[in-house]
Chain A
Amino acid sequence: MTVGIEYYVLLSAALFCIGLFGVLTRRNALMFLMSVELMLNAANINLIAFAFYHGNLTGQVFALFTMALAAAEVAVGLGIILVLYRNFRDVDVTVPSAMRW
C-alpha cells in the first residue's frame, strides 16, 4: 500500500505556508533564511512526489538541482547576514531600510 499523492501535496502546501508565514512575520534574518529553506523544501517534496506518481526521474533530478541552489543561497544569505551584523550590530531585517528611493 502506498501513500496517496494528495497527502504529499498537503504536506508540501503546509510546509510552504509555514515558510511563508515565517518570511512575512519574522524579523530575525536567520529565521528569515530558515523560512526560505522551508519553502524551497516544500517545492522539493512536490517535485519528488509527482516524479514518484508519474514514474519518471525528472522531478528527482530537479530536486537535486534545487538542493544545490539552496546550498548556494544559504552561503550568500549567511554572508549577507554577517555583513548586516557587522554594520548594524543586529540581524533585524527591518533596521536596514536605506536601500530605497
Chain B
Amino acid sequence: MVGAFEFAPAIALLPLAAFVVALLFGDYLPKKGAYAGILATAGSLALSLWMLVAVFGGEAYNEELYDWAIGEEITFHFGILIDPLSALMLVIVSLVALLVHVFSMGYMNDEGETGLRRYYAELGLFTFSMLAFVMADNLLMAFIFFELVGLCSYLLIGFWFRTRSAPSAAKKAFLVTRFGDYFFLLGVVAIGATFGTLSFAGDASFVDAAAGAIDAGETFHGFSAETWVTILGLLVLGGVIGKSAQFPLHTWLPDAMEGPTTVSALIHAATMVAAGVYLVARMFGFYALSPTALAIIAFVGAFTALFAATMGVVKDDIKQVLAYSTISQYGYMMLGLGVGGYVAGVFHLMNHAFFKALLFLGAGAVIILMHHEQDMWKMGGLKDKAPVTYYTFLAGALALAGIIPFSGFWSKDEILFDAIILGLEEPIFLVAYAMGLLAVFFTGFYTFRMVFLTFHGEPRTDAARDPHPLGWNVKAPLAVLGVLALVAGVANLAPVAKLTGVDIVFLEHWLDGEYGAVDGLLYSEYTATAGLETAYIAGSETITLIAAGVLALGLALGGAGLAYVLYNVPEPKAHTENLGQAREVLRSNYYQDEFQVWLATGVTLPLARAADRFDGSVIDGVVNGVSSVSLFGSGGMKRLQTGVVTNYAALIVLGFVALLVFFGVYGGWFV
C-alpha cells in the first residue's frame, strides 16, 4: 500500500472540484451538476476506503503539508491526520454524501426544483469542508472547516430563500451555532497561547503538553494546570454544544428542517452535527485529562438525550420528530464519551450516521410520495404502496429505537453499559444513566408513533391514497443504508463478546491500534489517562451486562409497544392531547425559544442599551467637552486680532518689553 496516503488530500479536493464545476457550469450540465457531485463523492469514497484498508494494513499518517503562518512561538499549518478514527469518519461522510447526491436527483431534479446549480455547488462545498475537517491534524484547521460547514449549513437551510421561514431558520442556525463557536475560538486561542501548539497528535501535540503540565504541577494564570485544562476543554466544548445541538444550544436544529430533506439527512443528521461529537473524540486525550470536563460532557449529553426525546413525542411533522431524535441521539454519544466510553461513543456515531441518514432519506421519500406533505396526520397506509421505503424506514426505526439486533441497539447498549458501570462506582453518574435510560423509552415511543402514523392504518388524505411514484435513485440509497442499519452493529458486538468469550469487538481493536494508529490516539491510552473506576452489580460483569441490556431493551420495547397499542389502528387518534398542559409545554419546546428570545431582548438588549448610553454620554461627553473648551477658549482669544496694524505693533512692543522684564528679573538685573 505504498503511497496510499499521498492521495489523502484528494479526498477533500474532489468535492471542491465538484463545487467549482457545479458553480461555473452547473446550468449547462445534465442534471445541473449532480453527476459532478456524484463522481467526486464516489471518488472520495473510493479513496476513503483505500485509507481504511491502508490503516487496516498497519499504517497511519500524520503529516504537516503546508505552513500557513510562521511565528516566533507558534506556527500555524495545514496537515492531514489519518488514523483509525478519521479513516472511519471519512468513509462515513463520503458514503452518506454519495448516497445523498444520488437521492438528490430523485428529490430535487425529478421534482423540478429551480436553483439546482446553487444546490449542488453548496453540497460540494459542504462535502469538501466536512472531509477536510475530519482529516485536520490541528485545532485551527479543524476550526476553519468547522466554520465552513456552518456556512454551508446556513446556505442550504436557506435554500428556499423566497419563503419566509427558511431564511429566518438559516439565520437562527447560523447565529446559535456561532454563539457556541465563539467559545470554541476562545478555546483555540487559549490552547495555542498556553501550549504553543495546536496539533492533535505527534510529539508536539497540545494533548502531550497539557499532560506534561499537569504532571509537572505547573500553574497558568493562577489556576492549577488541571483546572486550566478543564477551562480550555469547556471553551472548546462550547463549539461542540452549538454544532452538535446539545442543550442549551439545540434550538436551531429543529428549525433547520426548513432546508431540503436531503440536506437535513446529510448535514443535520449524519455529518455536520456529528462534527461536534467527532471533535470531542478527536481530542479525547485532552478531555481525559479532566474528569470535570468529562462529567460535564456526560451530563449535558444525558440531559439532552432525555430532554429532546420528550419533545419528539408530541411533534406532528415527520421531519420535526427526526430532528428531535437527532438531538437526543447526539446526547447519547456525548454521554458515552463523557463516561469514558470512547469506543461506545464512536460506535454510536457511526451507527447513527447510517440509520439517521436512512430515516431522513426515508422521510424524503415519504414527502415525495405525499406530494410534499410533511404532517404525519395526513399520511397513513403507505406501507403497501411503497414497500421499499417502508421496510428500509422500518429498519432505520428499529435501529433508532434500539431493538435487537439492529445496529442502534448494540451501540446504545454499550453507552448505557459504560454509564452504569461508572455510575456504580461514582453514584452521581447513575443520574446521567437514569436520564439516558428513560430516554430509551421515549425514543421507542416516538419512533414507532412516527412509523405507525406514516405507514400503517388507513390513508387519511387523497395524497396518501394515491402516492407519487419513486425512482431508482430514491430507492437505491435507501436500500444501501437499510442494510447498513441492520448490520453495522456487527462492528462491535461487545455484549456477545463478553458473554461468549468470542473476540468480535472489531471496532474496539480498530480504535485501540490493533491495526495502524498514531501514537497517543489510542483507546487504551485514553482509558489509562482518564483513570475512571468502574464497578459491577454484585461484582459480576455478566450480571451487570445482562441487567443493563434487558432493562434498556425492555424500555425500548415498552415504548414501541405503547405506540403500537395507541397508533397501530386504522384510524389513530391524537392521544397526545390527553397530556393536557404537559403537551402544551412539550409542543412549545419547553419555551426554550421564548426563553432565548427573552434573554436577547430582556437581558442583552438593555445591557447593550446601557453600554450605548455610557458610550454616548461619558465617553463622547469627554471627547466633546475637550473640543468645546478649546472652541470656547479660542473664541475669546481671537478677539486679540483687531485687524489694525498699529495694535499689532503695540502688542509686539509690549511683548518685547514683557520678555525683557522677565529675563531681567530672572537674570537678576534689578537686584
Report which A residues bind B (CB closer than 8 A).
20, 23-25, 27, 32, 93-94, 96-101
Contact = CB atoms under 8 A, between A and B. Distances in A.
A99 B643 CA distance: 5
The secondary-structure label for the interface of chain A is loop
A96 B643 contact: yes
Given A20-B653, A24-B653, A100 B646 contact: no
B644 interface: yes
A24 B643 contact: no
25 contacts: A20-B653, A23-B646, A23-B649, A24-B646, A24-B649, A24-B650, A25-B646, A32-B645, A93-B644, A93-B645, A93-B646, A94-B644, A94-B646, A96-B643, A97-B642, A97-B643, A97-B644, A98-B643, A99-B643, A100-B638, A100-B641, A100-B642, A100-B643, A101-B638, A101-B641
Nearest to B650: A24
Interface string B633-657: 0000010011111100110010000
Contacts of B650: 24
A99 B648 CA distance: 12
Contacts of A100: 638, 641-643
Interface residues on B, range: 10 to 19
Contacts of A27: 646
Interface in B239-268: none
B404 to A, nearest CB: 96
Contacts, number: 27
A101 B638 CA distance: 7
Contacts of A32: 645
Interface string B102-116: 000000000000000
Nearest to A26: B646
A16 B644 CA distance: 22
The residue in B638, B642, B649, B653 that gathers the most chain A C-beta atoms within 10 A of its C-beta is: B649
Nearest to A94: B644
Given A93-B645, A96-B643, A97-B642, 8 more contacts: A23-B646, A23-B649, A24-B649, A25-B646, A93-B646, A97-B644, A99-B643, A101-B641
A97 B649 CA distance: 14
Nearest to A27: B646
Contacts of A94: 644, 646
A25 B653 CA distance: 13
A89 B643 CA distance: 18
A75 to B, nearest CB: 18
Contacts of B641: 100-101
A99 B644 CA distance: 9
Contacts of B643: 96-100
B656 to A, nearest CB: 10
Contacts of A96: 643
